[in-house]
Amino acid sequence: MHPTAADTPDGIAHWWLARPGQPALSLVKAALEQLVQRGLLQRKSLPDGNSLYLSARRPSATSAPSN
């Protein structure tokens, strides 16, 4: 639903997976790295040392939105 969304592991754990019994941050980071290895996510290093994760399949600027 949000192909241009991106977030840090902390943000993903807190906002995307926030529910009782949510996985530990270490598990979230491990899962994100597996998705990077599979080519489904990209990891961008931020100046503060954190990583930002985003879809490896980003829409092109020239593609029209589909309804």
Tell me which residues of the chain have a pLDDT lower than 50: 62-64
Q: Return the pLDDT at 54.
A: 94
Domain locations in the chain? Answer: 6-17+24-55
Q: What local confidence, expressed as pLDDT, does residue 43 receive?
A: 95
Residue 8 confidence (pLDDT): 93
SS (H, E, C) 6-56: EECHHHHHHHHCCCCCCCCHHHHHHHHHHHHHCCCEEEEECCCCCEEEEEC
**pTM exceeds 0.85 for this model:** no
